[in-house]
Amino acid sequence: MKPDRFCVPLVRVLFALFAAIAVAMPVHAARVGVLSNKYATETAADFNVRIPTHVFTAIDTSVAIPTLQSLTNSFDLVLVFEDSTYGNATAVGDALAAFANSGRVVIIGAFYDQDRSDGPAINSPHGWGALELVDPNTTDKTGTPYAPRTLDTATMLRHPLTTGITALSSAKFAGGNQAKPGTTVVAYWNQPNAQGRPDPAIAFRITGAACVIQLAIAPNYAVIGAAGTDYSGDFHVAWKDAFDFGANRCISTSGNSNGSDPQAIPSLSAWGLMLTMLLVGAGAALQRRRRAR
């Protein structure tokens, strides 16, 4: 009987230790589609090197429009952006809206705003079809301002989408958005948008089964710009956070996906959940053993 007196507290300590480790475990490696009419291949290659925890595959949407089946068969989440407006945007947006409504995450980067239907006429926007029904932001009627943007870290929420971010700046390829009612904005740019209102830098929106994240900076900056000059700060950290949050289906706390908790912590990964279940089972078995004696 004496050894059992120490076994139960030991199991409890081990449970607490392994549960804490499980919470801290990274999310699973996601298959990420990188969709754009330009620089998709180069951007996917950059992310594969700088964010090796996920696997990135490029799709040139100027050549072909992916189907919902091809997207769901190949990817856990997708990133969509563009470089200059193009006619396929509407059909691509329709396919991505269906992908999002299937319960998989879509991440938006600049210059998505330039082809949005409420963008300035000078851009000849084609619209993103049904994706505009679930995206987090409208444009500010101007779109990417081609002016400096610096992240407002003083008001930035503590959230999985801002983990490890201490600074982020852009010389010209960021900003130009307006958050929709109901969108969760976790970080703004210091500079206001063209309407004189707060310009959302990092935001996401839950609409039914769909979660769409928008990081309002060019994801291909590392391809077309120079670090430290055209962009600086925690650029790849911000994108990694977006992919991690997307891989976790926009869950920021256990059972909570609405982003309302600014102190949110990551939920258990699949491996962490399995480990926790095994430890609970072991504890229950030990308790039954003691009762049997």
pLDDT of amino acid 122 = 93
Q: Read off the pLDDT band of 285 (50, 70, 90).
A: low
Please check the confidence at residue 58 and state whether its pLDDT lies above 70.
yes
Strands of the sheet with 210-215, listed across from one edge: 55-60, 31-36, 77-80, 105-109, 210-215, 200-207, 184-188
Rg of the Cα atoms in the chain? 22
Please check the confidence at residue 289 and state whether its pLDDT lies above 80.
no
SS3 letters for 92-132?
HHHHHHHHHHCCCEEEEECCHHHHCCCCCHHHCCCCCHHHH
pLDDT of amino acid 28 = 78
Q: Read off the pLDDT band of 13 (50, 70, 90).
A: very low
pLDDT of amino acid 252 = 76
- How far is it between the farthest Cα atoms of the chain? 82
Per-residue pLDDT of 63-112, as tens digits, reads 999 999 999 999 999 999 999 999 999 999 999 999 999 999 999 999 99
The CA dihedral of 250, 251, 257, 260, to the nearest 10 degrees, is -100
CA distances from 287 to 14, 19, 68 (A): 15, 19, 50
| 75: nearest Cα among 47, 46, 112, 100 | 100
pLDDT of amino acid 281 = 57
Rounded Cα gap, residues 21 and 94, in angstroms:
40
Averaged over 277-283, what is the pLDDT?
54
Name the token pair of 273: 């959940």
Give the mean pLDDT of the chain: 86
**How many other C-beta atoms can be found within 10 angstroms of the C-beta atom of residue 5?**
9
> What are phi and psi for residue 89, nearest 5 degrees?
-55, -40
Count of residues in the chain: 293
Per-residue pLDDT of 183-227, as tens digits, reads 999 999 999 999 999 999 999 999 999 999 999 999 999 999 999
pTM of the model: 0.81
Amino acid at 279: L
> What are phi and psi for residue 287, nearest 5 degrees?
-65, -40
